Structure 1
Amino acid sequence: MRFISIGCVVFVLTFTSAGAQDRKLDSLRRAVQTEQAAGNRYRTSFSLSHIGFYYNSLKRDDSAFYYYKLSLSPRFKSANDTLNASSLNALGTLLQRKGMLDSAIYYFSDALYLYQQHGKRGNAMAVEINLAMVYKEIGLYEEALDTLLNALDYLERRPPGAYLIIGYNTQGNICLKTRDYQDALVSFNNAVHAARAAGIDAYIAPLLNNKGETFLRLHRYDSALSCLIRAENIKRNARDTKALGKTLNLLGETYMALGDERRATSLLQEALAIHTAADSRIDEIIVLHNLIELQLRQRRYAEAGELLDRAERLARAGRAPDYLRQLLEQRLALYRAMHPNDLTVKIVEELLMVKDSLLNKDKAQSLQALNIQYKTRQNLEQLAKMGQEAIQHQQWINRLIGLAMGVTIVVIVIYLLYRSSQQNKRKAETLFKELNHRVKNNLQILSSVLSLQSQNVKDEDALLAIKSSESRVNAMALIHKKLYRDDNNRTIDMKEYVEELGDFLVHTYGFTTDRLQLRIQCDAVSIDVDKAIPIGLILNELVSNALKYAYDKHPAPALEIRLQEPRAGEVRIDVRDNGVGMGPQKTREGSGSFGLKMVNMLIKELKGKVDVETQAGTAYRIVLPL
């Protein structure tokens, strides 16, 4: 349950009467006309967004949306990206509230990009939490957690405050959605600790509510009751009647699970009265659903029918299809209980099973399409960010890295096209032969250019960027070199490949056999080129990271690389160094450098598993199916 939403907060206004509101609006409109006449685009855009916030504070979403959009129109848009990002974030919040989640994501993403471009990390963090909430609502839980971890990485390094509490709470709610209940408890506990450390007691009761719901889903009813009763006491003492209704509903559901139907009925009826008085229709439907379930258990079918009629009217009037579906399922259960031998019930149940299966399939396809769409956008933004960082060093470095990335993408695209044409074996073999010939030559030329260029570079960051690009290109070039030797063979001798790659990387990063103890142990494994390329890139990144970062002032550096086939159809890769190690935060999926993100992506694509140890150095253990 999300108990706080984060919107765009730019101005703080207080409106005490309708007359004061009208005077404020007239003042803002005159300011727009004055600044527009003076040609001050910043002040004009500022005043328009101010009017948007004014309407937003009055819950007049359509008017707020109009003025925020007007402040970003070509006629009025300011050159101040921070002001524009604030309006974009506000538009995303309005669209999220309207349920237009796809559009909300695009506005939040644009706001996030502008804040990041200008180093506004605090503002960017707030937008990341907004984005995580939207991803959670549409079912993209992996993206939600990935985005939220970026915000928490920033927040955890600062004194605890409201945003950290909200971040942990959102993380817990995502885990509730994915049924990762133990992780949800950890997040909610972190939120409680942060609230107490920050001295913000207002968050304690909602967090206890969320913990109680988590314990309820885990069937740990004693713990659920402990949390929910504490939340109830806090809300009753604070006279927070509206929030009290949600706690009472969860308490009623808990007592219902424990078989105490008398107490469950009393609590649910009190919760229903609170939500009815507040005209909170969705909460009212949720409580009615529990009461109907209670009546069905007690075989009080007439009372269950009356409650169903009431709940269905609310669900239809409020256009709440998910809740209406649950109520119709209860209607079917009521009819089945009253007519146990009716053949119609069995036919309807079978029809619903088939329909649910089809709907789930459509939903999965839809979510997959959205997933691809959002990942593509995120990748483009990441590439743009990398380009900006490279420009800050030197212009020509940006062109070299762009060229390396471009060649990599072209190789992967051509390779994927090759895989799709395997049905025509003769044509595929011809294409593959020509591909290897051309790619080998292009990659060798590019590797040579990067190697020559690195000799003239003094900036350490630029030199590392060039060497990273050179090692990635070389990792692919080695494979194509081996394929070109034997036109009729699609497999790579990994023992020979790993030894060559290891020697190349050690030499590239300035190590010698006297300074670095390199141990390579590989079984005689031959791997198809489809998997040899991504495995080569994974090895390249892990070994390069060790050589670049692990051995700063280390007296006896050692690096061990193993590639073994413990059983048929499976390969295990171990890369271990005895260096300074990595923090646990850096080993999370999606964290760290572009190279580590690429490693995680390739392991996922290969359907593999990875385990990382960060004690006494860093050790990666990767298991991949062949």
Structure 2
Amino acid sequence: MRAFFVLIGGLWIITSSRSIAQESSYLKVQTNRLQKAQQAEQDARAKGDSSLLAEAYYLYGKTYSFTGDYQNAHRYFIKSLRILEPKGFSEELSRLYYRLSNIEIKQGHLKEAVRYGRYAVHIAQVLKSDTAISRASIGMGQAYANIWTSQRPQSRIPYDSSLFFYREAEAACRRLKDSVGVADVYSALGELLAIARKPQAATYLEKALALFRIKKKEDILLKVTPQLAGVYLDNGQLDQAWQLLSEAEKHYTSRNLHDYDTQISIDLQLVRYYEKTGQWKLAYERLQQVQSLQSYAFQADHQGAITRLNVEYETEKKEALLKTQNRELTLRAENLQSQRRFTFTLLLLLGLVTGMSLVFFRLYRRNQRISRRNEALVKEQNHRVKNNLQVVASLLNLQAKRLSDETAKKAVEESRLRIQSMAIVHRRLYDGDELAQVDLEEFVRELVQGVLKTFGYPTLEPHLTIDALSLTVDKAVPLGLILNELITNACKYAFPASSTPQLWIRCRQQGTQLEWVVADNGPGFDKAETSFWDDGVVVQRTSFGMALIDAQVAQLSGTYSFSLGESGRGTRFSMVFKLY
């Protein structure tokens, strides 16, 4: 019985194909799609925009391809191609070649499908567009899958090629985080693996179906459902297949889609289901419906209409190429004459530039000599300033030794330390490679050690955390005076009250600002000489040292504050100022 049915069905298809010229049937064009294309064409002509007109032609072609009217679809795609191709590579051009490849696949013209598909992939790769790459790679994968289907089992290479392009499409979709695109790839992979009788086919199709349901892509979901039903039929899962097919046909009819590919896919799987369940009459009726839908596409191919369109388009391209070549020959002759004039002018300019280069070279050598002389002068100036400051410090030291009044002696000693801090800046300028920059860490370390040694703490190791950077003289001198006052105060008031004196100095750059923290572990401030703001402590002393700190911070255009240490003991000084 089954063999008889297959034979009758085959004879019916052959007989019907002979009468195609008399009878052709294809799906009705969806009104909303056609109106969208017509509106796009009207807007494009009103604005005189060729790119919009190309998009309108693309929409026409896409509308007719859904109904299976490949002749009209191809005609509109070619019209769009004539506009877009001279404009150069674009995502729209890659998309157009993908559509042309797709309709060639539907008609079995696999060589042409691969040719168009390669154009689409090449343009997408040149543009480095993941959107175009994913679409074009799926198209190439489908073309090679159809080649493999027609050649198997003799050739296995196109099967591997299909997998390669599907993986490329999946990678592009994942870079775009496009779950719908990934579902499209799973659908194509599932269809290929189903033909290859691979057990993973159902898994991929089920994943695709789940993703489409999550994203509520009902129209695309209807394309995957028949594929999965076909796998279930192959595996003998007839009930699951029937459930999917009946739901798909119900949704298709209720949504009034008129989509050629979806209708054909549902009908073919229903034919298989009816055949497997022995419902021969229903299978025969459904097969008649399939043949009726396919007749128009077969007729267009039989009449050679699409082939003629290809020939006409290629002829137009060749004629345009000849015209372009003639224009190029004329332009080359004009360019040759221009190049001769340009070469003569260039030689004159080259001679002029050579002469000017010699002049500039001599000026450069002269400027170098002046720069070296100025560098020596600046270093000599820094050296003399350093020596003068050192002499003043020595004089103050001698004077302090001659004084008997302890208060006066301490005042002179503190003044000597202040001058010593300025002398350190100029010594660093003289000894270093930079003429106007001081290495911050080396400067601070030398200054701190000098003060600690003066007050009898030469073995105390301060905790220094200082970012690697340099300061200009106008920043280094005020900073040195401030640090000198803070460390002097620590040596006089904090360290004697602690059995294990500690000193912390931290400097951190935050953008264009420099943040300083100087802290000790002494007893902190005398409450009689401080006032409290909330939980912090703000110093209100009127000593010369505090006045000096205030003046130097103002010179740095910064802000500062005093507070207790983190453990509630000691003094913590914080300052912020701009580097530049």
For normalisation by structure 1, the TM-score amounts to 0.38
> RCO higher in 1 or 2 (8 Å CA, sep ≥ 6)?
2
Q: Higher Cα Rg: structure 1 or 2?
A: 2
